[in-house]
Every structure is written in structure tokens, then in C-alpha cells.
Amino acid sequence: MRLITLILILSSLLFAERIVLKTGEVITGKIIGYEGDLAIVKTSYGEIKIEKDKISKIEYETLPKEEPTKPEEPKSIVMKRGYQLGYSEGKLEGSRKSASDWMMIGCGSGFLFGCLGGGIATVIGYSSGDTPVTIPKGDDEYSKGFVEGYRDATKSKKGSSALVGGIIGTLSAAAIIFIILVSTGE
């Protein structure tokens, strides 16, 4: 009896396709655990508990044997450089371009005109993208994607640089005005 229980416990790790009871009744499910002398079986109707000594045998699902396969010959792949690849490469190239001039524009406009000047420089920076000096060779879709990606990246860099410069310029002007007011005693 203990040997049968041990076999049942060890074999329950596999998916039980059919559990045959001593009464001849067949239950389809998976043994998911044991509580004392009870086997817990998960079926399509839910979980049920079966006394171990009422189980005659368990028939497990047999897995199909793997047939040896012949390795496939490598196929030559011709990759078309399309719009998406061009856009990604253009965006990468555009992100490498310096936007320090737009930081200076934002700083100057923020210093001279405050928040309004910094805001105007930021809006102009975000709305104007550069065109790349050289466009890598490729089909029309790739070139179009490259130009648009480059333009989007430079717009983003210009706008964020102008914003940072505008904040620096506005804070600098405010600090100078504060120092002047404090030093004059008013």
C-alpha cells in the first residue's frame, strides 16, 4: 500500500489524463496535491478530493516523441531600408546635433523680456527643425524618414534648450533686479 502511495505521489507531478477508480469510474484531470489520504484533482468541473485507496490506476497523457529535424538552410534576406529605419537613424543623428545656440537665444530673451521672452524662444525652438546637411543614400522612403526623424529630433533639442536658457535668463534678470533693490535700500 505504501509503495502505491509513493508511486502516486511521484507520478502526480505529471499531467494525469485519466484517473481510474476501483469502481470503474474514470475521472479526467490533474492531481494538484494531497491532504492526508486524499488526492486533490483539478478537473474541468473544479477541484475534487478522492481517497487514495479508491484509485485503481492513473493513466498519463503521453507526449509525442520528437522527430529529428533537419536544420533548415539559411535563406538570404534582402532588407529594405524603409521609412521607419530612416526615421530612427535620422532621429539619432539629429539628437547628436548641438543646440547651445538655442540655449543662448533663450537665455538672452529671458534676460531681456522675462518669462514672455523665454516662452517665445521656446515656442519658436519647438516649431522649427533643421534639415540634415547630408542625407545617407537609400530609397525614397528611407530618405523621407531620415529627414523627418532628424527634423523632429532637432525641434525637440532646440525647444528644450531654449526653455532651459529662458529659465536661466529670467532668473538671472530677477536676481540682478533683487540685488539692485536690496543694495539701494528700497
The string of pLDDT tens digits covering residues 151-176 is 999 998 999 999 999 999 999 999 99
User: What pLDDT is attached to residue 3?
Assistant: 60
- The pair phi, psi for residue 58, each rounded to 5°, is -125, 125
Rounded to whole angstroms, the Cα distance separating 167 from 103 reads 10
Which three cell numbers, joined as nine digits, stand for 42?
A: 483539478
Strands (E), the chain: 16-21, 26-27, 30-35, 38-43, 46-51, 55-60
Rounded Cα distance, 105 and 68, in Å: 69
Report residue 48 CA to chain centroid gap.
41
Q: What residue segments make up the domains of the chain, in order of their start?
A: 2-60, 83-184
Mean local confidence (pLDDT), 11-35: 73
Q: What is the pLDDT of residues 37-94, one digit of tens each?
A: 888 888 877 788 888 888 888 777 655 556 666 666 665 554 566 888 888 888 999 8
82-134 pLDDT tens trace? 888 888 888 999 888 888 899 999 999 999 999 899 999 999 988 888 888 88
Q: Given CATH 3.90.340.10, say whether it is the number of domain 2-60.
A: no
pLDDT for res 112:
93
